[in-house]
Chains A and B, each alone.
Chain A
């Protein structure tokens, strides 16, 4: 039982919460940072340099939409000069010839573009704006410039059955990695989970499709399929352990152990405006609270998986049980597991009733 401070490997830089899309499962917090409170260019540069000093190897430039920041290219160049592997995590709206070329010159290593579906009617409805065709154009620009491309699709009830078409589209675009990420139900997505949660049948079919694509595309395109917690028996090893490998800096400069940690009301997060990144990583209360295994209650404390899943997700524990320090309710050993299972079953019953209703109301 220890609380060892390990090496920090990855920085997620959420440059802004501004975004042209309006996805109902957005991973940003429900209380967004206004533009006037965003870190300035010089502050971000210092954060990136401090991260490199700490041993960070990867930086993901994310948001919101990071292309909304005019200084993105400058920040990429700073990161690249510090020896970091730089990944742009984008909707791609705002990407044009000129910006692609500037990012190439700055040394950007890789581009990840989100798609909402494989065809524009559904995709644009989910994004809340006309975006899909522009995204396809941007993806082609990215490939033409020689960037390795990752396609990320957040899956939910409305688009999960499009999986075979989504995989085909990613192949056609020349993606080298495809992330099929089932919605994580926090923040915006939690508010919308009634509308978003897929059925068990949909999940099973999608798992089969993803598995077969994974085998077929081995060595060509990496296919990642993340099962939603609500259907899983084991919790995910969230962030590979709290304060263990990764951290997020949000647009206002607060440093978070995971991108959604702001949802945990009982924690206070230090800002890079007041403290060094090293102090926050090594010394701050928020990072030490759930670091290692010492904080764990039962059933985690004596569990053989405690160094594998690290007790799962703190945000989900807080959201479902009101207590961030209990076992993730996604775990089958959690005394709160029923709360997730009941929600899934309720959705299944509602779906059955919907079918029944359409039959009952058939006659005019």
Chain B
């Protein structure tokens, strides 16, 4: 897969839909033939994947929110996003494209 860069922004693909599951009250990522029940940090990460922020900006935003150093979480966030990319739920887009 293409590496993350300062040009590319993670965006939730159109095939995936994030909603609150009525039974558990937890966030669920729905896609064809599958569902991922997200934990609070997963939910926070996915919520920032609108195609406007780079990986570094997503990490910075989370670090501020959870009061931790960016270095402490950047590896984890990147791996989480890569897992979603392998499931074809996140794509990387150019800034112009992300604003569509």
Contacts and interface: CB of A to CB of B under 8 A. Distances in A.
A57 B35 contact: yes
A112 B22 CA distance: 26
Contacts of B13: 148, 176
Nearest to A150: B32
Contact of B15 (A7, A148, A218, A219): A148
Given A83-B22, A85-B30, A219-B1, A146 B14 contact: yes
A146 B91 CA distance: 15
Nearest to B34: A58
Given A148-B13, A148-B14, A83 B32 contact: no
Residue in A7, A83, A219, A220 whose Cβ sees the most chain B Cβ within 10 Å: A219
Interface string A36-78: 0000000000000000100101100000000000000000000
B22 A55 contact: yes
Interface string A115-156: 000000000000000000000000000000011101000000
B97 interface: no
Give the secondary structure class of A's interface: loop
Given A110-B15, A218-B1, A57 B30 contact: yes
Query: Chain B, interface size: which category?
Result: 20 to 34
Contacts of B30: 57-58, 85, 109
B74 to A, nearest CB: 20
Contact of B28 (A57, A146, A176, A177): A57
A219 B85 contact: yes
B86 interface: yes
A7 B86 contact: no
Query: Chain A, interface size: which category?
Result: 20 to 34
A218 B82 CA distance: 11
A222 interface: yes
Interface in B38-94: 85-88, 91
B90 to A, nearest CB: 8
Residue in B22, B32, B86 whose Cβ sees the most chain A Cβ within 10 Å: B32
Given A110-B15, A148-B14, A150-B32, A219 B22 contact: no
A85 B17 contact: yes
Contacts of B21: 57
Contacts of A9: 35
A87 interface: yes
10 contacts: A52-B22, A55-B22, A57-B35, A85-B31, A110-B32, A148-B14, A176-B15, A176-B88, A218-B1, A219-B1
Shortest beta-carbon contacts, A-B, top 3: A148-B15, A85-B30, A219-B1
Interface of B: 1-2, 13-15, 17, 19, 21-23, 28, 30-33, 35, 85-88, 91
